Chain A
Amino acid sequence: MQPSRMINYDYTVAKYFAIAAIILGIVGMLIGVFIAFQMAYPELNNLAGEYGTFGRLRPLHTDAVIFGFLLSGIWATWYYVGQRVLKVSMAESPFLMFLGKLHFWLYLVGVVAVVISLAMGITTSKEYAEFEWPIDIAIVIVWVIWGMSIFGLIGIRREKTLYISIWYYIATFLGVAMLYLFNNMAVPTYFASGGIGDWWHSVSMYAGTNDAMVQWWYGHNAVAFVFTVPIIAMIYYFLPKESGQPVFSYKLSILSFWGLMFVYLWAGGHHLLYSTVPDWVQTMGSIFSVVLILPSWGSAINMLLTMKGEWGQLKENPLIKFYILASTFYMFSTLEGPIQAIKSVNALAHFTDWIPGHVHDGTLGWVGFMIVGSLFHMAPRMFKREIYSKKLMESQFWIQTTGIVLYFSSMWIAGITQGMMWRATDQYGNLAYSFIDTVNVLHPYYVIRGLGGLLYLIGFMMFAYNFYKTMTASKAIEKEPQFASPMAA
């Protein structure tokens, strides 16, 4: 008797989060495309008074995709994968069911508060930690609820050994909790001053160089524990499931997991090279960034080798294409990052468009494709219907891939051009270009980048449509598919 056949998994919360991920993804990417075109056509800044400027919209873009699209996507997969690998249904525990729903609705309230406050310009200015203290407290509560949900489900599990994906979900929970708490330490000024000024305003516990150190210890590792760790949790579950292939090596997964946990946290210093933080911290950041290639490539190679001898599936199943391209972009991005962390390269690359270029080949190629691929795999199992259209999925794949290539190649050229022009000198040793020269030269690349982003957004809309149709109008299936997801032509 296989217990998995007997358990009726309850995907209510997973469905909520899946839909939230899609909606917030569209919002976040739409803002992203808009601000990308603002850099090419600055008139677009003044369409909505002070609320439409690049400065106000940029945090909305980053936070909508990170804390909207990504977190929702991560939680959608958690509420799906968690039950299945622990062999226990949420329906068995009314308490965990209640927690899951509370998790979702409180999170939505948080999202609304974030959107309103950022649009009004209420921000701490720290990247990816812009929220003022009342929202921080709400986020901590949501996070604790998620933690209770993880350990609650683990507590009533039937499968005693934790599958690899669970390791990564636990690490996500712990890592973000630690980083978020320490980076957002602040004193609310209204209370400290005896009731003067805005009640939501606060001042950072750390000043200057220390504030920068803590912020980039957070900023870099938020990338680790939101863009990397939970996404690896996804690929360790969905790629073997969809392909029907066992994970290539258990030892390699252990090495990559503990290696990643140990090395990642040291690398934050590479955001502060040639700044005023102590020199040894910069050097450590630089060295550990290079070491980080090992555990990163460990996971990615483990995934690629899982497909050993089964590469024919790439032709038949577009979902496998999403997973494979995602791990390829993961390798690409985790090689590019360490290169940028080498001091002499960083001297050129820092402050330029090469950095957003690097971020986006990771986020669009690796994170975005994994979330899309995961939700596609979940859809037939959650809704008991086949995927609405394989053709649409194929076209989406190629449109989005083209978009990513346009994005990172234009930003490479833009970044390196800009960096070279900033330092160029004439025959007498004087600076060869004024700053505005280095802005004007970038116009064509900003246009190409905007188009790349637009293609990716169009592909994402196709995904949303395909998902919606799968939910509502696709052909019903009687038995849950074991491996490859069923899809109509």
Chain B
Amino acid sequence: MFHWLERNPFFFAVGVFIVIAYAGIVTILPDFMNSARPVVGTKPYTVLQLAGRHVYIKDSCNACHSQLIRPFKSETDRYGMYSLSGEYAYDRPFLWGSKRTGPDLMRVGNYRTTDWHENHMLNPAEIVPGSIMPKYPHMFKNVADIETAYAEALTVKKVFNVPYDKSGMPKLGTLEEAKAQALKEAEEIVANMKSPEVKEALKRGEIKEIVAIIAYLNSLK
């Protein structure tokens, strides 16, 4: 049979494809629906948090920080309750990471504050002596992209039935409403910040990247 396949490229290719394809089908499909179900209490991100998540992705925070707590005592002692599948139901993409150059951030909102993040992003080694994390002063300059975050929220609401605008869930509304809501959430965060630059910008209606990413990090619980 192998000799025959080696003289018939078409059937050879079909054979290879069948052999490589079905492992994916068998491992991924059976639990697909189960794995997509949220646990009770999990909510989709608000537009501001989503914009912060985009900043997290833009600067590849996930290259050094995981968001996955494994069920070992050494991990639950350090980071909190181990991860459940349903907690990730609204994470598109998932941000588990594959390397912990820095600590896990799955529940960082439980033990770090806005004030801590503000100082830490400006100069990590000042807050944590010996830290090798880069400084992120540009997050205090760049403006967060609320429109793209809104577009994404609207897309997942329409395409994947993510429960925005349902009772007890974050409100999305129109783009104008979403922008006003993001500004309101940003005000609460900026109230706990020191940077005059960020405060000035907010008065002009601009939300800096640092505000959005702090909103996102605070939401990780």
Contacts and interface: CB of A to CB of B under 8 A. Distances in A.
Interface of A: 38-40, 42, 45-46, 49-50, 53-56, 58-59, 121-127, 151, 154, 160-162, 167, 170-171, 174-175, 178, 182, 187, 189-190, 192-193, 196-198, 201, 203-204, 206-215, 217, 254, 258, 261-262, 264-266, 268-269, 271, 274-278, 281, 284-285, 347, 350-353, 355-356, 422-423, 425, 430-431, 435-436, 439-440
A198 B35 contact: no
Interface in B139-163: 142, 145, 147-152, 154-156, 158-160
A306 B63 CA distance: 41
18 contacts: A39-B132, A42-B134, A45-B135, A53-B59, A53-B134, A174-B16, A178-B24, A192-B158, A197-B150, A201-B148, A208-B85, A208-B92, A265-B20, A277-B35, A352-B99, A435-B103, A436-B129, A440-B130
Interface of B: 2-3, 6-7, 9, 12-13, 16-17, 19-21, 23-24, 27-28, 31-32, 34-36, 57-64, 66, 68, 70-72, 74-75, 77-78, 83-103, 125, 128-136, 138, 142, 145, 147-152, 154-156, 158-160, 175
Given A175-B20, A423-B72, A123 B9 contact: no
A187 B21 CA distance: 24
A193 B36 contact: no
B27 A211 contact: no
A197 B147 contact: yes
Contact of A208 (B72, B90, B142, B148): B90
A3 B150 CA distance: 64
Contacts of B91: 207-208, 211
B93 A204 contact: yes
A42 B133 contact: yes
Contacts of A258: 2, 19
A258 B16 CA distance: 8
A15 to B, nearest CB: 26
B102 to A, nearest CB: 8
A262 B17 CA distance: 10
Given A125-B62, A423-B74, 7 more contacts: A56-B59, A125-B93, A161-B7, A196-B148, A210-B36, A266-B27, A276-B35
A261 B148 contact: no
A54 B59 CA distance: 9
A167 B85 CA distance: 39
A113 B32 CA distance: 34
A189 B151 contact: yes
B23 A189 contact: no
Contacts of A58: 60, 63
A122 B23 CA distance: 32
B71 A207 contact: no
A174 B24 CA distance: 14
A54 B94 CA distance: 20
Contacts of B149: 197
B151 A431 contact: no
A124 B63 CA distance: 12
Contact of B66 (A59, A162, A351): A351
Contact of A197 (B32, B34, B36, B151): B151
Contacts of B175: 196
B185 to A, nearest CB: 18
Interface-centre pick from A56, A206, A264, A440 (highest chain B CB count, 10 A): A206
Given A54-B63, A435-B78, A174 B7 contact: no
Given A162-B9, A351-B66, A261 B19 contact: yes
| Top 5 A-B pairs, shortest CB-CB distance | A208-B88, A197-B148, A45-B134, A55-B60, A265-B23
B160 to A, nearest CB: 7
Contacts of A40: 132
Contacts of B71: 274
A171 B14 CA distance: 10
Nearest to A188: B155
B23 A201 contact: no
Nearest to B129: A436
Contacts of A53: 59, 134, 136
B28 to A, nearest CB: 5
Given A201-B152, A266-B27, A425 B94 contact: no
Contacts of A162: 6-7, 9, 12
Contact of B19 (A59, A262, A351): A262
A131 to B, nearest CB: 13
Contact of A192 (B70, B77, B154): B154
A95 B86 CA distance: 52
B5 to A, nearest CB: 9
